[in-house]
């Protein structure tokens, strides 16, 4: 596999953190910290910070993303946000299928697929999250499960659209726990995901698809994880709220 064929992408997932004013201050610190990065840099903020983030990041190397999107274009879906609404703001990326949404907000593989297709149709780049729980890992079904999640998420997505799909492997047991997957575990599953993408779209698309690892990635462990041949970047939670830590991860990905 040739890592040069794909973009390294480090994306921050801010989750439900930061008011708009706090976001502005964080972005002011992030801009100089990641200037000249050797990889793509993205911050995914709460909906309420997107306007601020797009304004602040204009003309910088930081792309802005949302953390979720609804699959319908418009209508009676109180509290939801459509892909067109995000595009209209200047948002370029969206996270879909994060395990916290699967766990707390009844997200299913089917709705992940619907959101992925709607976001792609609107022109967004989609970060599709997949990953197993601790029980599933202990049952030895990680690879089967992640294959299935990936296949269902990508149902109806064309080979051309795959240029705007990033897949994030996030083992649920590693998220926010300080318990990172070993570099070997991350590599094993990211390689399995690339294999499925290859089965669906062929080797060229598989080699060009960015596959991230996420789950307690930090300044101390990023280097080892990102050196693995199939780990092309990271989806960063806690450490993305700390400019120096996020910058160190970005620097590791740019090597």
Q: Which residue is nearest to ligand 13P (CB)?
A: 237
CB of 224 to ligand 13P, least distance (A): 15
Binding stretches for ligand 13P (CB under 6 A): 13, 98, 170, 175-176, 214-217, 235-239
CB of 44 to ligand 13P, least distance (A): 8
Q: Find how far residue 1's CA is from the centre of its chain.
A: 21
Nearest Cα neighbor of 13 from 221, 219, 232, 217 is: 217
Q: Which is the catalytic residue, given 67, 98, 107, 161?
A: 98
Strand runs labelled E in 109-203: 125-130, 165-169
Considering beta carbons, is residue 146 or 235 the nearer one to ligand 13P? 235
Q: Which is the catalytic residue, given 100, 107, 132, 170?
A: 170
Q: Which residues pair with 166 in a beta bridge?
A: 127, 210
Q: Enter the DSSP assignment of 70.
A: B
Note if 170 is an active site residue.
yes
CB of 178 to ligand 13P, least distance (A): 8
Asked if residues 61 and 41 have their Cβ atoms less than 8 Å apart, the reply is yes
CB of 18 to ligand 13P, least distance (A): 14
- Tokens read off for 135: 């029980």
Nearest Cα neighbor of 42 from 220, 240, 190 is: 240
Considering beta carbons, is residue 146 or 205 the nearer one to ligand 13P? 146
Considering beta carbons, is residue 75 or 178 the nearer one to ligand 13P? 178
Note if 132 is an active site residue.
no
Considering beta carbons, is residue 129 or 205 the nearer one to ligand 13P? 129
Asked if residues 41 and 68 have their Cβ atoms less than 8 Å apart, the reply is no
Per the listing, tokens 């709705």 go with 111
Centre a 10 Å sphere on the Cβ of residue 202 and count the other Cβ atoms it contains: 12
Considering beta carbons, is residue 194 or 234 the nearer one to ligand 13P? 234
Q: Nearest 5°: CA angle at 124, between 97 and 26? A: 80
Q: Which residues are catalytic?
A: 98, 170
């Amino acid at each position: 596999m040739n890592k040069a064929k794909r973009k390294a992408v480090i994306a921050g997932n801010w989750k439900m953190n930061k008011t708009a004013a706090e976001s502005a201050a964080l972005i002011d610190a992030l801009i100089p910290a990641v200037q000249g990065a050797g990889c793509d840099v993205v911050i995914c903020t709460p909906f309420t910070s997107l306007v601020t983030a797009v304004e602040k990041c204009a003309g910088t190397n930081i792309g802005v993303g949302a953390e979720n999107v609804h699959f319908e274009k418009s209508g009676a879906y109180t509290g939801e946000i459509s892909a067109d609404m995000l595009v209209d703001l200047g948002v370029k990326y969206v996270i879909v299928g994060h395990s916290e949404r699967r766990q707390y907000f009844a997200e299913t593989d089917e709705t992940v697929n619907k959101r992925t297709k709607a976001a792609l149709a609107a022109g967004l780049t989609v970060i599709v999250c997949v990953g197993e729980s601790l029980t599933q890992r202990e049952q030895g079904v990680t690879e089967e499960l992640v294959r299935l999640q990936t296949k269902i998420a990508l149902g109806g997505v064309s080979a051309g659209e795959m240029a705007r799909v990033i897949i994030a492997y996030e083992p649920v047991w590693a998220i926010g726990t300080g318990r990172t997957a070993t570099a070997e575990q991350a590599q094993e599953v990211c390689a399995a995901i690339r294999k499925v993408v290859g089965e669906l779209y062929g080797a060229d698309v598989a080699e060009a698809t960015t596959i991230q690892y996420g789950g307690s990635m930090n300044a101390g462990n990023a280097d080892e994880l990102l050196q693995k041949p199939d780990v092309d970047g990271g989806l960063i939670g806690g450490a993305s709220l700390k400019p120096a830590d996020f910058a160190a991860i970005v620097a590791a990905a740019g090597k």
